[in-house]
Amino acid sequence: MSSNAPPADSYPSQSSHVTALDLPVPPRESLPPDLQKYFRICEEKIGFLPNVLAAYAFDEKKLRTFIGFYNELMLEDSPLSKLEREMIAVVVSSANRCYYCQVAHGQAVRELSGDPALGELLIMNYRAAVLSPRQRAMLDFAHKMTVAPDAIVAEDRDALRQAGFDDRSIWDIAAVAAFFNLSNRMATAVDMMPNPAYHAKNR
Amino acid sequence: MSSNAPPADSYPSQSSHVTALDLPVPPRESLPPDLQKYFRICEEKIGFLPNVLAAYAFDEKKLRTFIGFYNELMLEDSPLSKLEREMIAVVVSSANRCYYCQVAHGQAVRELSGDPALGELLIMNYRAAVLSPRQRAMLDFAHKMTVAPDAIVAEDRDALRQAGFDDRSIWDIAAVAAFFNLSNRMATAVDMMPNPAYHAKNR
Amino acid sequence: MSSNAPPADSYPSQSSHVTALDLPVPPRESLPPDLQKYFRICEEKIGFLPNVLAAYAFDEKKLRTFIGFYNELMLEDSPLSKLEREMIAVVVSSANRCYYCQVAHGQAVRELSGDPALGELLIMNYRAAVLSPRQRAMLDFAHKMTVAPDAIVAEDRDALRQAGFDDRSIWDIAAVAAFFNLSNRMATAVDMMPNPAYHAKNR
Amino acid sequence: MSSNAPPADSYPSQSSHVTALDLPVPPRESLPPDLQKYFRICEEKIGFLPNVLAAYAFDEKKLRTFIGFYNELMLEDSPLSKLEREMIAVVVSSANRCYYCQVAHGQAVRELSGDPALGELLIMNYRAAVLSPRQRAMLDFAHKMTVAPDAIVAEDRDALRQAGFDDRSIWDIAAVAAFFNLSNRMATAVDMMPNPAYHAKNR
Amino acid sequence: MSSNAPPADSYPSQSSHVTALDLPVPPRESLPPDLQKYFRICEEKIGFLPNVLAAYAFDEKKLRTFIGFYNELMLEDSPLSKLEREMIAVVVSSANRCYYCQVAHGQAVRELSGDPALGELLIMNYRAAVLSPRQRAMLDFAHKMTVAPDAIVAEDRDALRQAGFDDRSIWDIAAVAAFFNLSNRMATAVDMMPNPAYHAKNR
Amino acid sequence: MSSNAPPADSYPSQSSHVTALDLPVPPRESLPPDLQKYFRICEEKIGFLPNVLAAYAFDEKKLRTFIGFYNELMLEDSPLSKLEREMIAVVVSSANRCYYCQVAHGQAVRELSGDPALGELLIMNYRAAVLSPRQRAMLDFAHKMTVAPDAIVAEDRDALRQAGFDDRSIWDIAAVAAFFNLSNRMATAVDMMPNPAYHAKNR
């Protein structure tokens, strides 16, 4: 419940920095041509250059290894669909309360699923979502890996197998969940801010 | 980062129930006239009848005491603005991961602040938001009341006083934070689903 | 084990305030007649005016909505007995370590059950109590709602049904557990002190 | 708040076993004369034989080492008063939610302090008690040792020194807190029940 | 993976104190003859005098009760083998992250098992070890007693019985796990340092 | 303390698998020449091929992106020394209780520092280590990123600056800590076992 009200102005504007570290984003034209081209393609597909790429751009090698790792994981062939990988990304990012990743990958879930409510559910509490047993098992494993990694035992892998995943798929579930435990912490540690344009997309 | 893709259909539709309990919402015309009128006013102001009111409608007395308690707290005069009370509601609901309350009160923060990003920030991680020292102190107190109530001591109240709150305001911060610790748990316990119309509002 | 010893005086006297906030309890005769009468009835039934009522008395509206909410929940007809509702109150208050509520509702359990040890058990560790399967299920649900509300799922509601509760009863278990998550936090946030007379009753 | 009501009988009787293990308490006359005498002295001083002694009596060596360790710690000369040692015992036992130790040592605090409310406060939430800075520092250290032993650092020992404790006293604070982390777990692991006579003493 | 590198010197030397408290270890010849003899036997069997004995030596009574309690538990007859008791010691000490006890009892597991990897596994994460169902049950019980003592219930004792332990054995599992919850906290509270000679033994 | 004893054989042999998934390590000669050469170099420098490389070898692309990411982070130029990066690796891996990474990087700390005790300390409880203020700040940040990433705020970055780190160094501290939050979870999720040869090195 809420009442109508004129917009208030009693709080500060939100930050527009890329990160809180003094590691300035280099001018686009100073990057090698292939990275300039990669950035242009991102902008065309997404509508803007994701801040995470701007954040890594202070160091060309780090940018390249990040892009390589990320794209292999999220965009290459996998027994998991892209939506499933994004669902894992959101559940992990929610457990770690990473602002950047919840915004960016919540949008991806809305877009790939065509269902705005699903993105909200996975951010707010994936246990409240209606999921297939396969997806529930996948997200339960990713969630446990995130909040209690030391307690993962053989029974947890067996639960995935019983939900229909083969060992090749289990590797990818683990790899995606593990990766967002990296990127969540990197984004939070440097206070990375998501592009504001994410918020209104696919609502 | 996300790639364009056609909407997928590989997951179940989300639930459209009001709650998971078999306590049917009575027909509107069976309610006493004053409650029928109250429901109509809600619909006019908000655009729909919030499901929480439908959920309590199975028992007239419970509905009346809930409305009474809620309205006194969130809509009556208070040293806290309505936006501040909604900010507390969202931070508490996020800490408790209540789907219903994050959706409904996240929308209220977007509407009252005129800033879609603020609603997302308070849901995803209020510590990533740019806040005034007064608001930070207020939300830190509400958050600690939620996750470690047994550890609240005199120093916590003093921190609010140093941020400019008088004791009458401290009562209201405590009362709003305490109330959402009730309503979050009630909503989660019965699997209350928010009205889908909340999602797209004020984006 | 303890040895006999004369009373020591090496620690400070305990607080006798109603709350730690500077919101003075108004003189009784300044209250409206119906509230004066209500307070007198409380004193007659309980032997003293519970401090929680004194605490809310600084604001007549807040006092009325609190009394309304509390009495509907704890004293009106319900599929749960008054003792069961008080048992939930104590288990929730113990999990949140609220001094006020453990004292006041621990006394209520002693009185309603006629068993002093039961009150102590529910305060100290309800898992050490001998309980019927129905009561165990009820208290396990209330405890989980308190310490891990985000983890409540359909299986938890089903466990209550298997223990013999219908959905109307489940609502009341949830409502009582949710309410004490409010009142525990309100009492702790303002350092509300219970009336000393509770301690010796029904031992 | 509670209403008058006749004692209910809708819950099971509480357990009267000494422990849940099948390790029967030997007949008193089968014990060596010095232990028989020790038990008689305990009964004279306390009014009954504490169940913890009955529990250990299945094995004479274990009984003797337990008595030796306990008495050296709690009854011998120490820079800490007996009340202070019992206050530590109760705060540790409350953090671990040990039913036996909270009952037995809560009674000891009531007896040694002459203040029934102090015993309740330390069981329910020691942070709500009015304490001298020295006692607060002592109990904060004991509490942290109990719930986060891995996080104890030099600054914690220094806080005790600044509160007036010398290193000999710090040893005893640590030793008492450590001991109840043993006895709490032993009592809980075997479901040791306290003598019912503790409940009504010193109220 | 690691690369070869010359030893660095960019960090401080580790502490060589026995404890961080100013409670000096008395000269050996000032101890009573029986304790002098006991220390010599320890040195002969272990190769050095364990620092824990030096730490307690400031007070003869405390030293005697500690030795008595420890030896009864770890060296006397028990249905548990010495290796099993040391395995419990390491798992408990790892959960509490006690440096002294992980070093000393990790060495004992290496020595008694003849398997250096087993010592490392129990220190680093016992859930990654290959164990018999009996040992798994034993260590799960000891671990739960350590991290969630308030949640131990009859089902936990039954799980030990189903794994083949009789009640006399359950007492000893509980007693060893409880004891290291004492000694871990004592060692951490006073910053007790293990003898450096432990590190290289039985690798 | 431990007594001499003959090696026992009462527990199962530890696992010798690379991972628990059925994703067989391909024959070395089936790899592309540059990867065969890379593996040979690893064996020459380390003495064996680390199992993590064998684990990723089922998929050439995944192996290459992992090697690229790892080597850029741990072996390339950085304001942090290799030892400092390995210290972060061990503290993070200890917090997550990853068996593989504690073994492999504990060995690296022993080798790079020339101090066997330092490796043990960082595995068992880094708070017990004697560290420079700079190293303490670095490890405190890495530890908090691991166990409470949602609570990282500007004050945490400022603490690193006050300890002498510039923002370029803060990026690398964050990047190393974030990476091991990935690799710990990957290793635990698939039950990756470290090469037994790590155990005895640099003791």
- For B150, which residue in chain D has the nearest alpha carbon? D125
Residue A153 touches partner E, C-beta closer than 8 Å: yes
pLDDT tens-digit readout, B68-105 = 999 999 999 999 999 999 999 999 999 999 999 999 99
Region E33-43: what's the mean pLDDT? 96
Nearest to E189 among D68, D145, D185 (CB): D145
Q: C136 with C127: CB under 8 angstroms?
A: no
Residue F74 pLDDT: 97
User: Taking 70 as the threshold, does the pLDDT of residue A39 lie above it?
Assistant: yes
List b or e across F9-48, with b for residues whose CB sees 16 or more CB atoms inside 10 angstroms.
eebeebeeebbbbebeeeeeeebeeebeebbeebeeebee
Q: In chain F, what percentage of residues exceed pLDDT 70?
A: 95
Q: E87 with E139: CB under 8 angstroms?
A: yes
Which residues have a Cβ under 8 Å from the Cβ of C27 and sit 6 or more positions away? none
| Alpha carbons A2 and A96: distance in angstroms, whole number | 29
- For D128, which residue in chain B has the nearest alpha carbon? B153
pLDDT tens-digit readout, A60-76 = 999 999 999 999 999 99
Residues of D in contact with C53 (CB under 8 A): 1
- Residue E58: pLDDT band by 50, 70, 90 thresholds? very high
- Residue B15: pLDDT band by 50, 70, 90 thresholds? confident
Which residues have a Cβ under 8 Å from the Cβ of B69 and sit 6 or more positions away? B179, C65, C66, C68, C69
Residues of B in contact with A129 (CB under 8 A): 14
- For B68, which residue in chain C has the nearest alpha carbon? C65
| Alpha carbons E118 and B24: distance in angstroms, whole number | 59
Residue F13 pLDDT: 83
Contact A182 F186 (CB under 8 A): no
Q: What is the pTM of this model?
A: 0.95
At what angle are helices B116-124 and A116-124 packed, to 10 degrees? 40
| Alpha carbons E131 and E129: distance in angstroms, whole number | 6
Q: In chain B, what percentage of residues exceed pLDDT 90?
A: 90
Better pLDDT: B6 or A47: A47
Tell me the longest C-alpha to C-alpha distance in chain D. Answer: 56
Residue E127 touches partner A, C-beta closer than 8 Å: yes
- For E93, which residue in chain F has the nearest alpha carbon? F124
Number of H helices, E strands in chain A: 9, 0
Residue E15 pLDDT: 83
User: Minimal Cα–Cα distance from A124 to chain C, Å?
Assistant: 10
Touching chains, E (3+ CB pairs < 8 A): A, C, D, F
User: Taking 80 as the threshold, does the pLDDT of residue A7 lie above it?
Assistant: no
pLDDT tens-digit readout, E120-170 = 999 999 999 999 999 999 999 999 999 999 999 999 999 999 999 999 999
Region C29-42: what's the mean pLDDT? 95
User: Minimal Cα–Cα distance from F157 to chain B, Å?
Assistant: 13
Residue F75 touches partner A, C-beta closer than 8 Å: no
Residue B1 pLDDT: 41
Residue D195 touches partner E, C-beta closer than 8 Å: no
Which residues have a Cβ under 8 Å from the Cβ of A4 and sit 6 or more positions away? B45, B111
Contact A98 F191 (CB under 8 A): no
Residue E10 pLDDT: 63
User: Taking 90 as the threshold, does the pLDDT of residue C8 lie above it?
Assistant: no
Nearest to C181 among B171, B182, B191 (CB): B182
Residue E1 pLDDT: 41
How would DSSP label each residue in C9-65? Answer: --SPPPP--S-SSS-PPPPGGGS-HHHHHHHHHHHHHHSS--HHHHHHTTSHHHHHH
- Residue C14: pLDDT band by 50, 70, 90 thresholds? confident
Contact B12 A130 (CB under 8 A): yes
Q: Do chains E and D touch (3 or more CB pairs under 8 A)?
A: yes
Q: In chain D, what percentage of residues exceed pLDDT 70?
A: 95
Residue F6 pLDDT: 41
Region D12-34: what's the mean pLDDT? 91
Residues of B in contact with A105 (CB under 8 A): 2
Residue A13 pLDDT: 83
Residue D24 pLDDT: 85
| Alpha carbons A21 and B107: distance in angstroms, whole number | 32
Residue F10 touches partner E, C-beta closer than 8 Å: yes
pLDDT tens-digit readout, D44-102 = 999 999 999 999 999 999 999 999 999 999 999 999 999 999 999 999 999 999 999 99
Residue C121 touches partner D, C-beta closer than 8 Å: yes
Q: In chain A, what percentage of residues exceed pLDDT 90?
A: 90
Instruction: Kindly report the number of other CB atoms within 10 A of residue E13's CB atom.
Output: 10
Q: What ipTM does the predicted assembly reach?
A: 0.94
Region B190-195: what's the mean pLDDT? 97
User: Minimal Cα–Cα distance from A181 to chain C, Å?
Assistant: 20
Residue B10 pLDDT: 63
Residue F166 pLDDT: 98
pLDDT tens-digit readout, E71-130 = 999 999 999 999 999 999 999 999 999 999 999 999 999 999 999 999 999 999 999 999
Q: What is the mean pLDDT of chain E?
A: 93
Residue A151 touches partner E, C-beta closer than 8 Å: yes
- Residue B138: pLDDT band by 50, 70, 90 thresholds? very high
- Residue B32: pLDDT band by 50, 70, 90 thresholds? very high
- For E151, which residue in chain C has the nearest alpha carbon? C127
Residues of D in contact with C99 (CB under 8 A): 120-121, 124-125, 128
- For A145, which residue in chain F has the nearest alpha carbon? F185
Region B137-142: what's the mean pLDDT? 98
User: Taking 50 as the threshold, does the pLDDT of residue E172 lie above it?
Assistant: yes
User: Taking 80 as the threshold, does the pLDDT of residue D9 lie above it?
Assistant: no
| Alpha carbons F101 and A150: distance in angstroms, whole number | 12
Residues of C in contact with A125 (CB under 8 A): 150
Q: Which of F62, F171, F192 to mutate to test the interface with A (most CBs of A within 10 A)?
A: F171
Residue A67 touches partner B, C-beta closer than 8 Å: no
Better pLDDT: D111 or A9: D111
Residue D10 pLDDT: 63
Residue D101 pLDDT: 98
pLDDT tens-digit readout, D109-167 = 999 999 999 999 999 999 999 999 999 999 999 999 999 999 999 999 999 999 999 99
Residues of B in contact with A12 (CB under 8 A): 130-132
User: Taking 90 as the threshold, does the pLDDT of residue B193 lie above it?
Assistant: yes
Residue F45 touches partner E, C-beta closer than 8 Å: yes
Residues of chain F with pLDDT under 50: 1-9
Region C29-46: what's the mean pLDDT? 95
Residue E108: helix, strand or coil by DSSP? helix
Residue F79 pLDDT: 97
Of F47, F50, F53, F55, the C-alpha closest to F18 is F55
Residue corresponding to tokens 């102005």? A9
Per-residue three-class SS string for chain F: CCCCCCCCCCCCCCCCCCCCCCCCCCCHHHCCHHHHHHHHHHHHHHCCCCHHHHHHCCCHHHHHHHHHHHHHHHCCCCCCCHHHHHHHHHHHHHHCCCHHHHHHHHHHHHHHHCCHHHHHHHHHCHHHCCCCHHHHHHHHHHHHHHHCHHHCCHHHHHHHHHCCCCHHHHHHHHHHHHHHHHHHHHHHHCCCCCCHHHCCCCC
**Cα angle vertex A200, ends A195, B3, to 5°?**
65
Residue C12 pLDDT: 80
Q: E119 with E112: CB under 8 angstroms?
A: no
Residue B56 touches partner A, C-beta closer than 8 Å: no
Burial class (CB in 10 A: 0-12, 13-18, 19+), E14: middle
Residue F10 pLDDT: 63
